């Protein structure tokens, strides 16, 4: 399997006068075609790491290499178009734009990159809505949709440009467990169909157990990293419980 992303000695600090280091010398390669889950306690640096891998934030030092290309060589505009074309994001809070309908929200990443969407792109948006069960909601505004429906719109939006990779930060963290299961299954199915890579931060043990690889971050470092390859779900779950990981699936994770 090819590496889609390689992180080379990533460090991240915040602050000028008081400097707080959040990530320490992270080396990591993410394989193409795998669902990778990051777990770990609140405040351990998962979101920061995801934002750096997703090219939303720059590391303080170290390199991000995506599909063999060192991203630090790109200027701001190149970075923005690279991100828009290759990467889809799903956050815990969907960040839909309230003044646009569900369908328009789904089309926004296309609009930003290429302007008015042609018929086939609108068709893809309709297909995605149908695929995830919100085909009735295209004309509705976000405040007319339930939390689960809004998150499904956000998922369709992340997929509209057929990204190479989807970054999801606690995408079901705001949903009840039944809706969360449905949304996760749909996301995994579509990602498989589209041959998109999925990299997700989650505090949900069951979701982590369904990933191909689980990486635990503690205090800004990789604490454990295992590939689930060919293990059954139950075995993985036991593994997650018995590993030296401090992960506890605690509620209130951010
Ligand atoms: N923009 C920022 N400025 C200052 N500190 C930050 C910023 N973003 C995150 N942090 C700090 O970095 C640490 C890791 O945060 P985060 O990556 O959000 O952790 P997690 O997602 O694992 O809960 C926390 O201590 C947080 O307060
Ligand atoms: Mg977080």
Per-residue pLDDT of the chain (254 residues; tens, 9 = 90+): 688 999 999 999 999 899 999 999 999 999 888 899 999 889 999 999 999 999 999 999 999 999 999 998 889 899 988 888 899 999 888 789 999 999 999 999 999 889 999 999 999 999 999 988 899 999 999 999 998 899 899 999 999 999 999 999 998 887 888 888 888 888 888 888 888 899 999 988 888 888 989 999 999 999 988 887 656 667 777 766 755 454 444 333 33
Predicted confidence at residue 254, as pLDDT, reads 37
Residue with tokens 């008015």: 116
First to last CA, the chain: 32
How far is CA 129 from each of CA 72, 102, 122, 132, 205, rounded to the nearest angstrom?
Answer: 36, 9, 11, 5, 28
pTM metric for this prediction:
0.88
Predicted confidence at residue 235, as pLDDT, reads 72
Q: What is the atom index within ligand 1 of the atom nearest the CA of 51?
A: 17
Predicted confidence at residue 2, as pLDDT, reads 82
Predicted confidence at residue 46, as pLDDT, reads 95
Q: What is the atom index within ligand 1 of the atom nearest the CA of 220?
A: 14
Domains and CATH numbers, the chain: 34-60+71-242 (3.40.50.300)
CB atoms within 10 A of CB 120: 9
Instruction: Work out the burial of residue 185: count CB atoms within 10 Å of its CB; fewer than 13 is exposed, 13-18 middle, 19 or more buried.
Output: exposed
Predicted confidence at residue 1, as pLDDT, reads 61
Residues with CB under 5 A from ligand 2 (ion): 47, 254
Q: Is 54 in the pocket of ligand 1 (CB under 6 A)?
A: no
Phi/psi zone of residue 43: left (φ > 0), alpha (ψ -120 to 50 degrees), beta? left
Q: Of the candidates 113, 189, 197, 106, which has an alpha carbon nearest to the alpha carbon of residue 152?
A: 106
Residue with tokens 């296309």: 110
Predicted confidence at residue 37, as pLDDT, reads 94
Q: Token pair for residue 223?
A: 């604490």
CB 223 within 8 A of CB 245: yes
Predicted confidence at residue 243, as pLDDT, reads 54
Residue ID of nearest Cα to ligand 1 atom 4: 14
Predicted confidence at residue 249, as pLDDT, reads 40
Predicted confidence at residue 34, as pLDDT, reads 87
Nearest-Å Rg of the Cα atoms of the chain is: 18
Predicted confidence at residue 245, as pLDDT, reads 53
Paired sense of beta strands 20-31 and 3-14, if any: antiparallel
Q: Is 92 in the pocket of ligand 1 (CB under 6 A)?
A: no
Q: Is 45 in the pocket of ligand 1 (CB under 6 A)?
A: yes
Residues contacting 95, CB < 8 A, separation 6+: 154
Predicted confidence at residue 250, as pLDDT, reads 35
Q: What is the atom index within ligand 1 of the atom nearest the CA of 253?
A: 23
CA distance 155 to 167: 11
Predicted confidence at residue 231, as pLDDT, reads 63
Instruction: Work out the burial of residue 53: count CB atoms within 10 Å of its CB; fewer than 13 is exposed, 13-18 middle, 19 or more buried.
Output: buried
Q: Token pair for residue 145?
A: 């949709």
């Amino acid at each position: 399997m090819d590496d889609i992303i390689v992180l080379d000695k990533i460090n991240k600090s915040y602050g000028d006068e008081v400097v707080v280091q959040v990530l320490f010398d992270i080396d990591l390669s993410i394989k193409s075609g795998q669902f990778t889950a990051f777990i770990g306690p609140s405040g351990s640096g998962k979101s920061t790491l995801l934002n750096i891998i997703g090219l939303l934030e720059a590391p303080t030092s170290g390199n991000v290499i995506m599909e063999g290309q060192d991203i630090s060589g790109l200027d701001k505009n190149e970075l923005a178009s690279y991100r828009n074309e290759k990467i889809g994001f799903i956050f815990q809070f969907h960040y839909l734009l309230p003044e646009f309908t569900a369908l328009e929200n789904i089309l926004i990443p296309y609009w930003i990159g290429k302007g008015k969407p042609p018929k086939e792109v609108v068709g893809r948006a309709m297909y995605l809505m149908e695929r995830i069960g919100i085909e009735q909601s295209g004309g509705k505004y976000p405040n007319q949709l339930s939390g689960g429906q809004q998150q499904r719109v956000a998922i369709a939006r992340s997929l509209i440009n057929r990204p190479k990779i989807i970054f999801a930060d606690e995408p079901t963290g705001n949903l009840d467990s039944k809706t969360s299961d449905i949304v996760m299954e749909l996301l995994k199915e579509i990602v498989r169909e589209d041959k998109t890579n999925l990299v997700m931060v989650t505090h949900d043990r069951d979701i982590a157990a369904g990933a191909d690889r689980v990486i635990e971050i503690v205090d800004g470092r990789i604490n454990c990293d295992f590939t689930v390859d060919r293990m059954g779900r139950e075995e993985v779950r036991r593994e997650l419980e018995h590993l030296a990981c401090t992960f506890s699936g605690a509620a209130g994770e951010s």
